[in-house]
Structure 1
C-alpha cells in the first residue's frame, strides 16, 4: 500500500513538473463559466452529499455487518 501511494505521489509530481510541455492544454476552454460550474459541483458534493452517509454510519455498519468504526465512505 505504501508503494502504491509513493507511485501515485511521484506521478502527480511528474505531472506538475512537465505541465508546460503538454500541447493539448494550449487551447482556450469552451466557456469561461466551465471552471466555476466545476467548482460549484465539487462544493455541492463535499457540503451536501458526503455528510449524509456519515450521519447514518451506524445504520450502514449494522446492515452490512461491518465494524462500527469502519468508515462508510469505504463502502
Structure 2
C-alpha cells in the first residue's frame, strides 16, 4: 500500500487503499512513543482535491509537504 508522510516530522501520514474498486486516501496522525504511541484517523476521502481540502482543514500541511514514506 503506497504511503506518504510529512517531510517535517513524519507524524502525519497519507495512505492509499483500494476499497470496493475505488481508491481512498486516509489521513492519519501518529503519536510519539513517549506519549503512548498509537494513531488517530483524521479523515478519509476519495479524490486528490478532497485530500487537499482535508489537509488544509485538519493539519498545517499541503500536498507539497508530503514525501514517500520509507
Output the TM-score relative to the length of structure 1.
0.24
Bigger relative contact order, structure 1 or 2 (CA pairs below 8 A, ≥6 apart)? 2
Q: Which structure has the highest strand share of the two?
A: 2
TM-score (norm 2): 0.25
- Give the number of the structure whose alpha-carbon radius of gyration is greater: 1
More helix by share: 1
